[in-house]
Structure 1
């Protein structure tokens, strides 16, 4: 069976015998993969990768932010291990850019980087100790692993150990959302921010959100029955006028059946309009 992207990244960590966040020296990991890391000012991109046969050079734009630089190196290592034979010029300083796009290779390299910098054997036990981690606790984790809060929050959703959705909103509405794999697909987020949300207050009035707070679920979800449930919300100012959002669903939201009204279209008589094209006779 072919190993997944995450498994391939974490195999590198296991093969090197790394057992603590302090040992995750990304430049040394790159050297072991025969990739030389060079820090040089760049214009128009944050990192590039040029390879020949079994060796490569990853050039990284110095940013002064260690978490950003480490992610850039790990991202280029992802290209080296997953997409060898190509050259890349990447804007990898903020995974928000790739989440908002459909560039498959960039998102694959992001996934590799996240598993490399925050491998499950080291990351999961730390997260488990918090219960439902707040942003303050995730910042502590990010400091231990030398990653950005964005990368760390996304990893929280991707490891699928918490009933969480990580989302990004600006004043105009939703930019993207990453649910944990077990979140029922029937729950659909609002495209626009509800004025009762803490995130609305943060973006419009600068009111900080010190911890997780309860909200009626209909503040966040379009489903007609959302008002019967509660979520926990916390938000944090991110980049370029955006807010990073944590939403934890209560357990009863996993027990309810599908919501057939969400995403369906009806005619004026109340009959469902199928999205399927009629069969050609």
Structure 2
């Protein structure tokens, strides 16, 4: 294994250990990011626009994910952006990395590194092997499409992410990967989820708007304390789609208590 991949694996596994993740997969990647003191914003940007982006504001790392995409894709995007936060923002100010696609072949070292970090964080090799041994109780050569669906549901990822990860680890070859895709396509993922009585939420969009109040608190407090000028406050709030009219209203009413619902009206 290339040295850089080994270093990435160590970083991803250290995070799982530090935050006491003892399950096979990560049940709530969104909560994990918040526990890491990274500001996470989920917003329905629109299907087939961008998957998400990561940035910094006054030293604080921010991840924005597109909740218009199906949940499995949004989960991988958040893990991918977390990789950017870990590797690509040290010492950087006002940098932004926008991802139109994630988990696809790319010539960019930065993007491939973020993808690999996300794959290891969400699907560590040891946890895959344990799940196969203790839950599926079969060899990788015996895998059927319904088994991939079970892996998908357990690790909270997409069907294609499971196959890509298994192939990457050389647990299945390219021919097996193609056969599993063909089998899935004969039924569709949703049909297989229903047949197996599994929750198919991974296949659906949530279209949620989740903006942590502390993001607004942080941006406003920096402005009110004179650490940033009003133009910088506008930049910070523009990240989450708050327009200039709403910001002007906030400026006039800055002595009043912050109302998150009013702010969200500016999206």
What TM-score bracket applies, with the shorter chain setting the length? 0.5 to 0.7
* Preserved CA contact (<8 Å) 1:34 1:54: no
Distance 1:136 1:35 in 2: 36
Residues 66-106 of structure 1: per-residue CA shift (max 9 Å, x gap): 211100100100111121234210023x52xx31x312211
Normalized per residue, the structure richer in strand is 1
In structure 1, list runs of 5 or more residues that go unmatched: 169-198, 200-208, 212-232, 239-281
Taking a change above 3 Å as real, the CA distance of residues 147 and 90 of structure 1, as seen in their structure-2 partners, is: same
Distance 1:53 1:81 in 2: 16
Distance 1:125 1:53 in 2: 42
Residues 187-237 of structure 1: per-residue CA shift (max 9 Å, x gap): xxxxxxxxxxxx7xxxxxxxxx7x7xxxxxxxxxxxxxxxxxxxxx95544
- Superposed counterparts of 1:1-281, under 5 Å: 4-21=7-24, 23-42=26-45, 44-52=49-57, 54-63=59-68, 65-84=70-89, 85=92, 86-92=95-101, 95=103, 98-99=104-105, 101-128=106-133, 129-131=137-139, 132=141, 133-160=143-170, 162-165=171-174, 235-237=183-185
* Preserved CA contact (<8 Å) 2:26 2:155: no
* Preserved CA contact (<8 Å) 1:36 1:57: yes
TM-score normalised to the size of structure 1? Answer: 0.54
Superposition deviation, residue 64 in structure 1: 5.4
Aligned residues: 172
TM-score normalised to the size of structure 2? Answer: 0.56
Superposition deviation, residue 22 in structure 1: 6.2
Aligned residue number for residue 250 of structure 2: none
Superposition deviation, residue 149 in structure 1: 0.6
Taking a change above 3 Å as real, the CA distance of residues 87 and 137 of structure 1, as seen in their structure-2 partners, is: same
In structure 2, list runs of 5 or more residues that go unmatched: 187-267
CA root-mean-square deviation: 2.9
Taking a change above 3 Å as real, the CA distance of residues 145 and 163 of structure 1, as seen in their structure-2 partners, is: closer
Normalized per residue, the structure richer in helix is 2
Aligned residue number for residue 187 of structure 1: none
* Preserved CA contact (<8 Å) 2:80 2:115: yes
Q: Secondary structure in 1 aligned to 2:138?
A: coil
Distance 2:53 2:175 in 1: 29
* Preserved CA contact (<8 Å) 1:10 1:116: yes
Superposition deviation, residue 7 in structure 1: 1.8
